[in-house]
Copies of this chain bind each other. A is one copy, B any other.
Amino acid sequence: METKRMLGVLGGMGPMAGAAFALRLAALTPADRDQEHIPVLLLNDPRIPDRSTARLAGGEDPLPAMRAGIEFLNTSGADLIAIPCNTAHLWYDELAEASQCPVLHIIEAVADDLRRQGVARGRIGLMGTAATLALGLYQRTLEQHGYECIVPQDDEVESLCMTSIRAVKSNRLDDSLAPAVECVQRLRARGADAVVLGCTELPLAIPHAVRPSLGMVTTDSIDALALAVIEHYQKAGKLATHRD
């Protein structure tokens, strides 16, 4: 297909997060009719082997399937790629290397979103998968940007973060809210100035409507990545709507 611009999305990790990303991208785009929105090709492939299991328990390597997805999006006409899965960014360098077009980095998008929300320094509470947290995916980047990170204890990662994430992945959204909110509150009690929902299942666990009641800034890694896409196309002059 010939395209002037088309966002390729390597999704399916999990499938609800991939679809929610496409939905939030449409919702956040300044557009007045269909034709002003960003064309998106979403490969929502849930068969990609589990990222956390691969990194922490010697499970099947997801890189070949992710690389094949990146190559497919490139040959299908993508001129930019987004990967709405935080843990997948443990393989970011290999995926960016496999792509002819730029691949956005979700952790950088979250750091940008913290500044966008007025949190330019301070202590950032991190939530995410066991692999994302144990392997320091956020810590490296946020400390480079001058933030201090507060990470849940190992038992909290399992009983709060992973319990919430697994509930979303198995379509039990009602069960996902309480453990996620409990984790936010514990991080807040330990001095966090803001909390990163650093797994794309977590924004589904804590819906937008609930967040004002949390009493602190949260950064939603789905929305942050969608805003990074919109900014990319705006800067490239490829998002010219009547509102510009």
Contact = CB atoms under 8 A, between A and B. Distances in A.
A44 B33 contact: no
A187 interface: no
A23 B26 contact: no
A31 B167 CA distance: 11
For chain A, which range describes its interface: under 10, 10 to 19, 20 to 34, or 35 or more residues? Answer: 35 or more
A37 B12 contact: yes
Contacts of A13: 34
Contacts of A14: 26, 34, 37
Contact of A26 (B25, B26, B27, B171): B171
Nearest to A16: B26
Interface string A136-160: 0000000000000000000000000
A30 B22 CA distance: 22
A18 interface: yes
A7 to B, nearest CB: 9
B15 A169 contact: no
A191 interface: no
Interface stretch (A45-53, A95-103, A211-219): A45-53
Contact of A40 (B34, B42, B72, B76): B42
B1 A34 contact: no
Contacts of A36: 46
A214 to B, nearest CB: 21
25 contacts: A1-B72, A12-B39, A13-B34, A14-B26, A14-B34, A15-B29, A15-B37, A16-B26, A19-B26, A19-B42, A20-B23, A23-B23, A30-B171, A31-B170, A32-B169, A33-B50, A34-B50, A35-B47, A39-B44, A39-B45, A41-B41, A41-B42, A41-B43, A42-B44, A76-B76
Interface of A: 1, 6, 12-16, 18-20, 22-23, 25-27, 29-50, 68-69, 72, 76, 166, 169-171, 173
